[in-house]
Structure 1
Amino acid sequence: MAGQILGNRYQVERQIGKQTGRWTLLARDLTTQELVVLKLLFLDEQLEWDDLKLFEREVEILKSLSHPCIPRYLGYFEHELPNDKALVLIQTYVEGKSLEQCIQEGRRFNESEAKQLAKALLGILSYLHGRQPPIVHRDIKPSNILLANRQLYLVDFGSVKTLTGSGDSTAFTIVGTYGYMPPEQFSGRALPASDLYSLAATLIALIAGTHPSSLPHQGVKIDLSAFQLSPEFADWLGWLTESSLERRAKTVQEALDALDNGRQKPQVAQEPVPVVKPEDSKITLTKEANNLEIILPSRLGQTYLQIDPQQIALSHKRLGFQTGRPQTSPRQSISRLEIYQPAHQSPTDHANPQIFLWAGGQKYELTSHAVLTEAEVNWLAYELATWLKLPISNR
């Protein structure tokens, strides 16, 4: 197509890329004499609906973006062909070398260089993920990252997706590139953490000089032991390429902070020391897999703590009748278990041991009506901690 003029304005110089039904061309704008990129989608009988949807989404999203490291949207037109027609997206041209070309030329990046690239890419992702609604690229890989004039550019927004109000994106169209795609994208799901996985996989490819799918693995994780990396950076790359979303970095800021300062690994809560019920206690505790009930004798009646799959409820009864309305919260809002053990520094200190549960912003005082011994508080705290899987905090 070299020399052909599209849209009565753009003279094709050469082809940059080609996929089924899609061409990417370098052209000269005859009005401004500047080089531009034309992305063509052919509207023929082989066109898939998903391809058209992705193309139109790319056009709409690029219109809304303004970042020095992202190609700028210049326009859009339809081009008539002998039998069909094509949709054409016009973008600014970045004259540079892709990181994929660097790999093919045998270039390998050291840790310092990889960290510089990481910070530059995280800066671009911070802009995309910070949009309202957030934008997930979904296809970060070496061929979509250009180096030009010591500047990094993220290109090819053909797989881009805006997130729904819930912050999640689930679609029937699976996009991405094998080796750089996190597991959730194989089921059509994408989040900001998905781009972080692809970013880290890209850095690993640049360090190794080959694609991640070709590298040895330890289980499902890429084995980085063969490369000269500091333990902190190897841990950071491993963290971003965790197959489980729950164990992976969630946000750009979280990843940046850990890159600069090291990752703060979550402390594993110690199992509470087993405590048995005091022989003389009149407390009744009944527990099943999803239900728990505690009945505490109180000064004027009984205190009831009930937890079922839906809620936590604390109520008081006097002479068999409920006094006041039960205090309730959703079960999933239970967040903290606290005990208070008075110091008993003097004979005049008559403070009693206390036990509290927090659910959201509400405090549930099990000892507001009941008087418990220190042994009873320790036993109840142990039972609640093991059943709710919460650590015990001291007030």
Structure 2
Amino acid sequence: MTNPILSNRYEIQQQMGQKADRRTLLARNLQTQSLVVIKLLSFEQDMERDELKLFERQIETLKTLSHPGIPAYIDHFEVNLRRGKGLALVEAYIPGRSLESYLQSGQMLNEAEVRQLAQGLLTILIYLHSQNPPVIHRDIKPSNILLADRPQENSSSIYLIDFGSVQNYASRDQNSFTVVGTYGYMPPEQFGGRTVVSSDLYSLGMTLIALLTGTHPSSMPQPDYLAQLERNRTLSIDLYNWLKWLTAMDLSRRPTSAQQALQGLQKGLQQPVPIQKPVQSKITLEQGTDYIEIQIPSRMGQTKLRIDSKQVVLTNQILGMRLNRSQVGDRRHISRVEYGRSNPAETTESRPHLILWVAGQAYELGQDQSMSSTEAEWLAYALSNWLQLPLTIN
């Protein structure tokens, strides 16, 4: 039995995958004898119009791209199928293994491997985002990243594949949108149909975290994946901070470009990227080279924390009266800054907490619920930066 031939040129070798009305085929180009990948979209009656739009956009985008880390566009054509017509996209075949297969087999990558992978992928993203208009992948995840079996000369060992969700600014429709991407890897703004270049950086960060922890991010909320990273004793503080930077929920706190992200990775982030003071916050923060002072107003008074080169002093005031002025301890005995959300036993509502650990004792700031989560996060990062201590997130 002979193998079917498409467009009088591509001899089908095997089916590599199938999903709804899409199939991925491995074929041989009879003109060059090289192997190719054919992505086939069937025009089913119940096919959504957006599916065809995305497929056509993928073709048009790939035709304009030329990068060693992106499988090359070869051809596209309409095809007659048993149940109607279809559209085929032909790309270069890359023998390799997807990073998803590493996760499925229980393998994890170490820091050196993750750094090398991140640099390769950021180089690809710098190229994509520098197009006019910028090309946003929108579905970066382990299954869309290939490691080549035998990299050829002048070719990449890391490939970003599957541009089926790709978007460029020129293609955006302001009146409608289609939510694309993969849950766990896509940033919050993408659920609302909004994507920018830093959306790809978030997905890259989540992909790298999955490869470091061996766990899909869809199975754990944000605080949990950060806690898992923190328990990784072999992870350097600068890579930890860099990954937190990429995966900030607020896109304004992420790198603004793949180039900036790459520079941060190469230079190293010994301290978390500073967070700006929340708008309308009444908390005051003053700092110099030898002191930091924080005043947190409450309904009945205020809490004041002052740390200088020698000591830590915590003062609580109610109605203008100083209740206690305790010298918490020696500055040298500060071990860590802790930030997170807690669930008091008397209520199901969570509240932010900010704790300074001194000589093994925990001192909580803003425990009367006068501080918002964004304020607590801002102060936590400020203290961590000034003290040059890691930030523990629970």
Question: Which TM-score band applies after superposition, normalised by the shorter structure?
Answer: 0.5 to 0.7
Higher alpha-carbon deviation: 167-176 or 115-124: 167-176
Query: In structure 2, do the counterparts of structure 1 residues 76 and 20 end up closer, same or farther at CA, with 3 Å as the change threshold?
Result: same
Runs of 4+ in 1 over 2 A off after TM superposition: 167-171, 214-217, 219-223, 262-273
Is the CA contact (8 Å cut-off) linking 1:171 and 1:189 kept in structure 2? Answer: no
Cα deviation 1:50-72 (Å, max 9, x = unaligned): 00000000000000000011011
How far apart in 1 are the matches of 2:173 and 2:53? 19
Query: In structure 2, do the counterparts of structure 1 residues 2 and 107 end up closer, same or farther at CA, with 3 Å as the change threshold?
Result: farther
User: Offset at 1:222?
Assistant: 6.2
SS class of match (1:139): coil
Aligned residue identity for 1:49? R
Larger radius of gyration: 1
Cα deviation 1:166-217 (Å, max 9, x = unaligned): x999951000001110011111111110000010111111111121122464
- Structure 1 match to 2:126: 126
User: Offset at 1:267?
Assistant: 7.3
User: Offset at 1:73?
Assistant: 0.8
- Structure 2 match to 1:210: 215
Q: Which runs of 5+ in 2 are unaligned?
A: 152-156, 278-282, 287-394
- Structure 1 match to 2:169: 163
Match of 1:266 among 260, 263, 274: 274
- The percentage of counterpart residues that share the same residue type is 52
Cα deviation 1:278-318 (Å, max 9, x = unaligned): xxxxxxxxxxxxxxxxxxxxxxxxxxxxxxxxxxxxxxxxx
Q: How does 1:1-395 map to 2 (within 5 A)?
A: 3-148=3-148, 149=150, 151-164=157-170, 172-215=177-220, 217-218=222-223, 223-227=228-232, 228-263=234-269, 265-266=273-274, 271=284
User: Offset at 1:109?
Assistant: 0.4
SS class of match (2:159): strand
Greater relative contact order (CA < 8 Å, ≥ 6 in sequence):
2
Aligned residue identity for 1:92? A
How far apart in 2 are the matches of 1:2 and 1:199? 42
What is the TM-score with the length of structure 2 in the denominator? 0.65
User: Offset at 1:247?
Assistant: 1.3
How far apart in 2 are the matches of 1:268 and 1:78? 53
Q: Tell me how large the CA RMSD over aligned residues is.
A: 2.5
Query: In structure 2, do the counterparts of structure 1 residues 85 and 164 end up closer, same or farther at CA, with 3 Å as the change threshold?
Result: closer
Query: In structure 2, do the counterparts of structure 1 residues 50 and 2 end up closer, same or farther at CA, with 3 Å as the change threshold?
Result: farther
How far apart in 2 are the matches of 1:194 and 1:223? 22
How far apart in 2 are the matches of 1:53 and 1:259? 36
Is the CA contact (8 Å cut-off) linking 1:37 and 1:90 kept in structure 2? Answer: yes
What is the TM-score with the length of structure 1 in the denominator? 0.64
Is the CA contact (8 Å cut-off) linking 2:139 and 2:203 kept in structure 1? Answer: yes
User: Offset at 1:256?
Assistant: 1.1
SS class of match (1:16): strand
SS class of match (2:37): strand
Aligned residue identity for 1:17? G
How far apart in 2 are the matches of 1:123 and 1:260? 12
User: Offset at 1:223?
Assistant: 4.2
Aligned residue identity for 1:40? L
User: Offset at 1:9?
Assistant: 1.5
Is the CA contact (8 Å cut-off) linking 1:99 and 1:147 kept in structure 2? Answer: yes
What is the total number of aligned residue pairs between the two structures? 272
- Structure 2 match to 1:336: none
Is the CA contact (8 Å cut-off) linking 2:75 and 2:90 kept in structure 1? Answer: yes
